[in-house]
Amino acid sequence: MNFAETVSFIAQSLSLYYSDHNLECVKNWIDHEKVDWEAVVKVSTQHYVLPALYANLKKADLVSLLPEDLVAYMQYISKLNMERNDEIIKQCLDIKDLFQKHDLDPVFLKGTGLLLGKEELKHYRMLADIDILLPKDQNAQAYQLLQKNGYYTNKKITDIPTERHRPRLVHENYIASVEIHDEVLRTPNDRYLSGATVIDRRFRKSDINLPHLDDQLALAIASSQINDFGHDRRTISLKTMNDVLILKSRGAQLEMENHSLGKVLNNYISFVSEISKIKLEYHRNADTQLYLEEMRKILTDEKFREKQSKAAQKELYFKTRLGIIPKAIRNKEYRKWLWERLKVGNRVN
């Protein structure tokens, strides 16, 4: 079972609920003992989808076909993940209550927003931190309020500032770090989906503000493909793919217009459609054709995959570093970061 087959098996397993064809294919793989479970566990763990993989196989009544020790391991990891998610949900509710007492109305983004919007996801959606969006005129107050209530920064000098959110906060009594946002995307794509737009289009569920489903879908893709440079690096994010399938099943739609954000959204949807074998709507054009050709090569050619990764890292290194100086001119956080780096005798790297 090579890398491409491993990724394909995981992707189809994550989409069993949406396709009878995928169910037949996955069952056939398992029945004929074609699955390298060690590789599947390794890749699904790297992509933060192991609990989701187990949940989908269990829902499709395929768990009985798996090795017993594998099932035990998946159950153990899924249990730990659910316990962690319960703690993060409580933390989100505590923050929400604290903010509302001070007339602040937060919108919960990304994984926490997805999980708070659909409680059954807590069994298998893995979370890292808590991302909260507030209007620009409430941002400083919210940040200071958290600091007054035991949160503190855990920032290293090497951490480059970002214009989208304030420095990450942590708390000794809570498990997740917290990021307070006033924007959701890197420039220049913030002009196509701004923090203000997400706030204006929010909806309320169980006294919690969540982004509109369409915005959740756009942000699920853009967070990994733009903010984390996944599109430039041509990275395969099965976690993002899983979020896309969940949100599409709930009726979320994308407006893939002819600008940089629309191009990224369209390209990634084309890849999700191909790798998951689920027919999703996207614009077939020269960009998607080239993108899919490169993604196929990354899946099938290990040398190309390593070469592409190194080249992309080098390009992004210079792209992000060269942008620091002009940002330092207009942004206090960047000036402070640059000065601290120079003070300790480090070059900007």
Report if residue 208 sits inside a domain. Answer: no
Residue with tokens 């990224």: 264
- Asked if residue 322 belongs to a domain, the reply is yes
Residue 171 belongs to some domain of the structure: no
79 lies in a domain?
A: no
pLDDT at res. 309: 64
Q: Is residue 81 part of a domain?
A: no
| Predicted local distance difference test score (pLDDT) of residue 344 | 44
Domain-located, residue 120: no
For the record, the structure tokens of 192 come out as 């196509």
Domain-embedded: residue 343: yes
pLDDT at residue 295, rounded to an integer: 95
Q: What pLDDT is stored for residue 312 in this prediction?
A: 59
- Rounded mean pLDDT for each run of 10 residues along the chain, 349 residues in total: 94 91 94 93 95 95 95 95 92 96 94 76 84 94 96 66 72 94 89 94 92 95 91 91 93 84 95 95 94 94 75 57 53 54 44
Burial class (CB in 10 A: 0-12, 13-18, 19+), 322: exposed
The answer to whether 133 and 198 have CB atoms below 8 angstroms apart is: yes
Return the pLDDT at 157: 41
The DSSP-derived string for 106-173 is -EE-HHHHHHHH-GGGGGT-----EEEE--HHHHHHHHHHHHHTT-EE---TTS---SSBPPPEE-TT
17 CB contacts (<8 Å, ≥6 apart)? 56, 59, 60, 249
pLDDT at 319: 55
Predicted confidence at residue 259, as pLDDT, reads 82
Q: Which residue has the tokens 């763990």?
A: 45
Is residue 303 classed as helix, strand or coil in its secondary structure? Answer: helix
In whole angstroms, what is the distance from residue 85 CA to residue 271 CA?
29
Q: What is the pLDDT of residue 346?
A: 42
Q: Which domain holds residue 346?
A: 304-349
pLDDT in tens, 109-148: 988 887 776 767 777 888 889 999 999 999 999 999 999 9
Paired sense of beta strands 169-170 and 152-153, if any: antiparallel
Q: Does the residue 333 lie in any domain?
A: yes
| CA atoms of 135 and 51, how far apart (whole Å) | 34
Say how many domains are in the chain.
1
